[in-house]
């Protein structure tokens, strides 16, 4: 539903990737710069947002921002053996600094 909320998209039209300032320093990316997150399943690009809510070594990406920026494109297709629910909240990613985005979130 978030992607249908035009007022929310107008306030934050780009994908924001939340990281700690410590990780920003480690990876050489400043608050507001573009990075890519790469996993075994896919790649997302977004703008860094430093936040004290994130611990070093963790990132947060909204699950569904816009169809082309869904964080679930990065996650594993593994299922919990008991419930059959996908592991959408855990995924190893590599952070890389990029220039301006290839695809805009317009």
The CATH number assigned to the domain holding 52 equals 2.40.40.20
- Evaluate whether residue 71 is within a structural domain: yes
Domain range for 7 is 2-95
Q: DSSP 3-state assignment of 9?
A: helix
Sheet holding 94-97, edge to edge: 16-19, 43-50, 34-38, 94-97
- How confident is the model over 6-39, as pLDDT tens digits? 665 566 668 889 999 999 999 999 999 999 999 8
Total domains in the chain come to 1
User: What pLDDT is recorded for position 79?
Assistant: 86
User: What is the average pLDDT score of the chain?
Assistant: 80
Gyration radius of the chain over CA positions = 14
| pLDDT attached to residue 34 | 94
Residue 106 counted as domain residue: no
Residue 63 lies in a domain: yes
pTM over 0.75: no
Position 101 in a domain: no
- For residue 69, the model assigns a pLDDT of 56
In the chain, the DSSP E strands lie at: 16-19, 34-38, 43-50, 94-97
Can you tell me the distance from the alpha carbon of 21 to that of 39, in angstroms, rounded to the nearest whole number?
22
Q: What is the pLDDT of residues 36-65, one digit of tens each?
A: 999 888 888 889 999 999 999 999 987 665
């Amino acid at each position: 539903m978030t992607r249908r909320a035009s007022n929310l998209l107008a306030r934050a039209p780009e994908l924001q990737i939340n990281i700690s300032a410590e990780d920003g320093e480690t990876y050489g990316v400043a608050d507001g710069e573009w990075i890519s997150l790469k996993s075994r399943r896919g790649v997302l690009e977004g703008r860094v947002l430093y936040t004290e809510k994130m611990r070093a070594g963790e990132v947060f990406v909204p699950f569904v921002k816009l169809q082309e920026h869904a964080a679930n494109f990065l996650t594993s297709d593994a299922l919990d053996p008991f419930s059959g629910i996908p592991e959408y909240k855990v995924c190893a990613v590599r952070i890389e600094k990029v220039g301006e985005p290839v695809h805009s979130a317009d």
